[in-house]
Structures are given as C-alpha cells and as structure tokens.
Amino acid sequence: MKPLPSTSSKTPVKFRMPTSENLVPIRLDIEVDGQRFKDAFTWNLSDPDSEISVFAKRTQKDLKLPLAFATQIAQSIQTQLTEFRSYQGQEMLTGEKIVPIKLDLRVNHTLIKDQFLWDFNNFDSDPEEFAKTFCNDLGIEDPEVGPAVAFAIREQLYEIAIQSVATARESRNAKKGRRGEYSSISSRSTGAALDLMKLFSNRYSVVRKRKEWDVYEPMVDILSNEEVNALESMEERKPR
Amino acid sequence: MASLEPPAAVTPPSSKPNLLPLPSPTIITPSAAALAAVAPTTSSSSPATLSVATPLPTPSDAELVHIPSYSRWFSLDGISECEIRCLPEFFDSRSPSRNPRAYKYIRDSIIKQFRRNPSSKITFTEVRKTLAADVISIRRVFDFLDAWGLINYSPAALSKPLKWEEKDSKTSQHAADSPAGPSSDSTPPVRETTKWLCGSCKSVCSIACFASDKCDLTLCARCFVRGNYRVGLSSSDFRRVEISDEMKTDWTEKETMQLLEAVMHYGDDWKKVAQHVGGRSEKDCITHFIKLPMGEKLAGSAEFGSGINKLNQMKDDNSSNSSSSGKRLCLSPLADASNPIMAQAAFLSALAGTAVAEAAAQAAVTAVSKVGHGEANAHFRSLHGVQGLQITRALRRQVMSYVFLYSDASITSNGSNKLKSSEEARSGVNTMPEEKVNVEEELRTVAMVQMKHIQEKIIHFEEIDSQIDKEWKQMEQMRDILFYDQLNLLKHERSIRKTGQQAAEGTRAG
C-alpha cells in the first residue's frame, strides 16, 4: 500500500494518473470514407509500442472495417500516448483535492447520469472497481456499461491532472521563492476542486443541502430503440 | 495411440464431471449419451452449464462444453501451472495492475461470455468492450485462451488448426490430425504415372485437379467446387494442378538420392540443393525432403543420446540429415531454430514442463519399440541401455526431447510409409546393418579393455594381500619370541633374588 500523502502537503508530485494503476484513457473517433468509428478504452503505459499496431489490426479485423482504419487507429493511439508521456515527469500540485466527477453517458440502450466526489489525492483509487460496484448495485445488465463508466471517470481525472500540471507550472513561474502562497493559488485557479472546509464551515454537518440531492443521485435510464436513434442523430449533428 | 497428442494430454482424465474433453477433431457424442455418462457422477443436479451446478429444466436444454483434450487441465476454480507458464506477466508482480486476481477476472469473464453463446465465435473486440481492464492484458488472455481451444472451439467449426499447431511442420500434422471426416477413409490418391484419382469420388481426374499439400488430398474439380472436403481444410489450402504437368511431380529414386546427397553436402542451403537435384524448385525439394520417411532422421537423432564421439562419427556418415544437425554434438540448447522440428519439440516440451515431456518421451519410445520400425529402433534402444549409466541428467533431458521428436517422427513415418514408395525406406535402412556391426565391434573392444584393466587391478591387490599376510606372521613370531624372552628374564630374576636371600640368611646365621 502506498502511503497517502497528507492532505495539506504542498510538495509537488510527479505527474501520473491518480489511480492504483497507471492506465491511460484513450478515445478514438475516426472517420474514413464516411464510416465512423468511435471507441474508448484504457491502455497500460508499460506495454511496448509494438502492441499498438497489433491491437489496431485486431480491432479492424474483428469489426470488419476497411484497411485504412488500422493505420488511423494506430496513429491516434500513438499520439494520445505520446501526449500522456509528455506530461509524465512534470510536476503537479496536490493540495486539497476533492473533485466532482460527472457521469453523463449513453452506452447502447443505457443512459446514465450521475455526479459524485472523488479524492484526487488518493493514488490507490480504482475506477474499475467503482464501475463494477456501480453496475452491480444498479442492476445494469449491459456488460459494456462498466468499462464505459470507468473510462469516463478516468478521462475526467486525466483532465484534472493535466490542469494541475498547468497550474503548477504557472505558480512556479509566477511566484518564485514564495512558498506560502501555494495553497491559496491552487484552490483558486483549479476551479474544479472544492474546498472541504468551505463546505462544512456553514452548517457543521456533513449532510448535503436538499437541492443538491437530485444532482448527486445516480440516474439510470433504459432507452428504447427510437430514442436511441434520435439521440444518435442529435449527437452527430452537434459537432457539425 | 494412433494420434500423437502434445504432452499436456498426458495428465489423467479430468475429474471434473462437467467438462467433456474430446480428442482433437472427432465426432461429437450425442448429448443424450454424454449426459447419461455424466449424470452418475453429479449428485443431484443434472449436468448443467459449466459455471454453476443449477438444475436445468430438461436434459435437452443442458449445454455441453467442448474443449480439446490437451486443455484438460483447465478449471474455472483456479489457476493452473500451464497458465502461469504461458502468461508469466500476470504472476511475477512486475506491474501492479497485472496480478492473479485480475487475470482470473479477465479469464473468467471471457470464458463466460463465450459460453453464453458457444456456437458463435467471439471476437476480441466484443470482449474488450465489456471488460474494465487495460486492453493489452485482455488481448493476451484472449489469445492464450484461443490458442488452447478454451474459447472459440467448437468441433463443428474447426476452420483452422489451433495457433501453435500452425507452427508445426507438415509431418507432425500428419500425426496430429486423425481425420474423421468423410473423405478420410479414402486413401490418399494413388499416383499412378498417368492418372490422378480423386480422393472423395474416386473418379479419374481429367483436366485439372486440386491438390492439398496440407493433408495430401486430391480432389477432382467437381468435388472441389462442391466443397466436398474434410472439416479441417478451406478452399485456400488447395492448389490447382494441371494434369499436363503432372509428370513432373513424381520423384524418381534417382532424384531422391540426389536430394539426399545434396542435403548432406549443403545442409540448409536449399538453393544449392535445388541446383544439385536439377529440375526441381527449392520449394519442391523442401517439401519432398520433409515428406521422406524418417529412417534417416532416426539415425541422425540417435547420436545425440550417446555422448561418445566414435559413435557420432559413425552416425555422421550414415545420416543423410542436414549436416548442420551432425555438428551439434554437444549440449546445444534445445531451441535451435535451424531445425524447425527441433524447435517445435523444444517449444512443446517447454510448454508442458520437463517432467511431462520426459514421461511422454518414455511412453513414446516404448510404444515405438513395440511397433518395431526397422532395426534402427532396436539399435537405438540397445545404445540407450548401454550408455544409460553414463548420461548425466542434462543430457538425459535432451535425449528425452529428442526421443520425443524421434517417436513423433517415426510415427509420422509409419503413417506416411503407406504413401511413399517403400524403396526409399529400404535404401535408407540397408546401410544400417553394416554400421550396426561396426558399432558392435567397437563396443566389444571397449568392453574388453575395461575388463583387462579390472583384472590387473585384482591381481595387484591379491599380491598386496599375500604380502600383508606374511608380514603379519612375522609379527606374530616376533611377539612369541619377545614373550619367551620376558619369561626367561623373570625366571632369572627370581632365581637370583632367591640365591641372594639365601646368601643373606646364611651370613646372618653363620
């Protein structure tokens, strides 16, 4: 077990995914000859790059996509991995970091909306476990939902990690030598983090305000085929 | 046994009542009969799907799970040694996300998914979408399960041989495939000089026919088009053979001898071999060479078992094997890739573990000796017996794997002997008796020398023995003399003392 860093530590930590396994979320959205391929999965950084082409070919063969996809898939994965690697080795700040994670995804016929708080400092956290329990508790039968949920969580954690790297760089450049300012800066500039003290200071109670109950409650909807089609057409229209 | 199964199948039949292992492609037992066999072993629940022993409504609804017999070690309850060996990255705690628990989760989910719909093949991408783990781990486990036939294996859909069988050379495949298909009882086509007979409809092929090198089958155009071939083949395995150039495809004895000579001289350089043979392409040479009966190969592999150079030299002359193998006298590592069959044997024995490979090789040797394929066989066994004492454990391991190969090869040759002209086999075997006599003589001289040596030693020791006896006797005599002297001395002393005393008394009295 890795010892958790204390919540008030201001020492910068090397960039990594704040989960027990250093897995990178990869999102694919490739369009070739009018055929669109969207996918999202997690990749283990310690795997050699030769696996990328193997995986791309495999996926292309299994889904019977035209050959051009394989190279595009491999390229996309490669760029995302190098981007992730470029962040590695840089520092990110770990202050008080309770971040809200929002789930708003549709997997086949299941629609999920949820919001919860996640401790960013907990480097032993496991989105996969969370997703498994989530699906079990809510009785979701579609086996593809679990990984999608885990992926969504991972993606958001990744975004936050990138942000904290950026702020670490900023604060280092802006204030050289003045160490005491870090905590206020980190909590100010990373708007995503919530200050627990502020939450609790008003009421001296841990119970949420009533109006926030609906927001933090998980909602699972099973859609019918027409609704799925409608949503899909809407989604496709959006980026265009 | 007719078919040579990889060593993993040597384990005793599984005790799991729900798994029905089948030897590699045979007919599916009707479910009723199978259920009847399985029913007595389970207590109350009828034979059910693998995961849970819940009673199913009717026996006809129960699903049978078919896995190949070489995967009998598999069980959903735990992780077996084979898996640890094949997928070490999950068990050596190098990466935190790859641990046995994760492996078991991935493996069980993949298998459950496949078994939900066993008649259709499950693709990696389907599986990947449903598992919350990193995709490379999923892919490794998926490939492993696929290769061992634990998923995507249904006897009706054996469209391609399993992955590591593909690496096999064609000879092993002869042994491994014991076809039960419709065209199996058709003997491979009788290649008369002018006619081709179709393997399945037994008619003379007229214009063109389709030959498959993979399993030595010939079909006329009609049968090919109709798809009247065995389960394990696909249309791409057949090549079209025009009858007009059929004359070229028969290997005369002269050509065969040329081929063997060339191989002995040039070894693995197939270009030169093709040149030497004249009129045959490289590919033809290679395929024909592989198909030759293994009489020569036996002699070649027997040399590795003994460690004695004399024998090796003899065998070298005899072996028409590639000369590169003759050079491998000492303990070369098993996985020498220059010989594909050797590499295959090494790979298999690595997969299965040394104990299993040894046991398999032993069994193979005894089985082969019963079959009694030529004098070379008995010869090898006598060699093995005499030299057995002198072989260290490392050598022995090699012997076992080579013997395994040997038995593999000899069994295939047994099978393929029916196809080839027996003259080739005889010509190879005819040189054997002379060599055998020579070797025996050498053995005799060696034994004689050893015996003389021992005799001389015995004589020497006897001499020493008698010498020691003499000395012992002398010692005893001396001891006696000493004793006698001591006695005399004492006597004298006493008498002197007495006379002294008397004299003293006399002077006092007088």
- What pTM was estimated for this model as a whole? 0.45
Render pLDDT for B303-329 as a digit per residue (tens, 0 to 9): 444 434 444 444 444 444 444 443 443
Lowest-confidence pick of A110-114, B102-106, B202-206, B300-304: B300-304
Tell me which chain B residues have a C-beta less than 8 angstroms from the C-beta of A22: 97
Render pLDDT for A141-176 as a digit per residue (tens, 0 to 9): 777 888 888 888 888 888 888 877 777 777 777 765
CB-CB contact of B23 with B88 (8 Å): no
Q: Would you state the pLDDT for residue B283? A: 82
| A 42-71 → B contacts, CB under 8 A | 42-44, 46-47, 51, 54-55, 58-59, 62-63
Tell me which chain A residues have a C-beta less than 8 angstroms from the C-beta of B136: 43-44, 47, 51, 55
One-letter amino acid identity for A7?
Answer: T
Q: Give the Cβ contact number of residue B14 at 10 Å.
A: 17
Which of B95, B97, B131 is the closest to A147 by Cβ? B131
| B323 phi/psi in degrees, rounded to 5 | -65, -20
Cβ pairs bridging A and B (under 8 Å): 61
Which of A54, A59, A132 is the closest to B132 by Cβ? A132
Which of A47, A55, A144 is the closest to B129 by Cβ? A144
Predicted confidence band of residue B410 (pLDDT cuts 50, 70, 90): low
Q: Name the minimum distance, in Å, from the CA of A200 to any CA of chain B.
A: 35
Residue B33's contacts (CB-CB under 8 Å, 6 or more residues apart) are: none
Residues in B whose CB is inside 8 Å of some CB of A read 95-97, 113, 123-126, 128-137, 139
Coil, helix or strand at residue B338: coil
Predicted confidence band of residue A206 (pLDDT cuts 50, 70, 90): low
CA distance A41 to A161: 18
pLDDT at B502 over 70: yes
Q: Would you call B130 and A63 a contact, using CB atoms and an 8 Å cutoff?
A: no
Q: Which residue of A has its CA nearest to B109?
A: A143
Which of A42, A59, A147 is the closest to B125 by Cβ? A59
Q: Would you state the pLDDT for residue B476? A: 96
Render pLDDT for B116-170 as a digit per residue (tens, 0 to 9): 877 777 877 777 777 777 777 888 888 888 888 888 776 654 444 444 544 444 4
Predicted confidence band of residue A20 (pLDDT cuts 50, 70, 90): low
Mutate to test the interface with B, among A54, A58, A126, A130 (most CBs of B within 10 A): A58
End-to-end CA distance of chain B: give it in Å, rounded.
122
pLDDT at B346 over 80: no
pLDDT at B503 over 70: yes
| B22 phi/psi in degrees, rounded to 5 | -120, 145
Which of B97, B113, B125 is the closest to A21 by Cβ? B97
Q: Would you state the pLDDT for residue B229? A: 56
Coil, helix or strand at residue B157: helix
Reported ipTM: the value is 0.73
DSSP assignment letter at B61: G
The CA dihedral of A152, A158, A159, A160, to the nearest 10 degrees, is: 110
Q: Would you state the pLDDT for residue B189? A: 40
CB-CB contact of B337 with B462 (8 Å): no
| B450 phi/psi in degrees, rounded to 5 | -60, -45
Render pLDDT for B347-386 as a digit per residue (tens, 0 to 9): 777 777 767 777 877 887 888 777 655 554 445 455 554 4
Mutate to test the interface with A, among B135, B140, B143 (most CBs of A within 10 A): B135
